[in-house]
Structure 1
Amino acid sequence: MDAKALLRSALQKAHVAVLADQEKNNAAALEAYTEALLLLDQVLISVDRDEDKMRIQQIVSAFILTCIGTLFLQCCM
């Protein structure tokens, strides 16, 4: 799969995660966010331009800090 297709899949998974999060289905949201992050990791590997890698890394960092961190605290604390 090329980088654009991987990114598209990651965004679709992130959308599923947001919907699950809105429904307070924390387990499904956490799973979908995790899958989105795994896809974004694949995008990072396949992208050559440093500028693109930096933008994707910023997205990953935002995911981890906001979405997954919050869900982890809700699920596990």
Structure 2
Amino acid sequence: MAETLRNTLKAERERLDLTQAALAERVGVSRKTINTVENGVFVPSTILALKLATALDRPVEALFQLDDSGVSPKQDT
């Protein structure tokens, strides 16, 4: 089962009227890194995800969601 990470990075970046380059500068990565995260090509490290959330003034959970199509809900035993 392949898990994927969905994100709202582009929408949140655009909400603040930031370019990819401006966001990249805020978090200390290249514009290409921002592009690949936005397009789901690259899954960011926890540190980068937290830096992005801080830079966009959003909780990390608002930016990244695990695609749970195929993940069974946890059952109490």
What TM-score do the two structures reach when normalised by structure 2? 0.30
Q: Which has the higher contact order (CA 8 A, sep 6+)?
A: 2
More helix by share: 1
Q: Which has the larger radius of gyration?
A: 2
More strand by share: 2
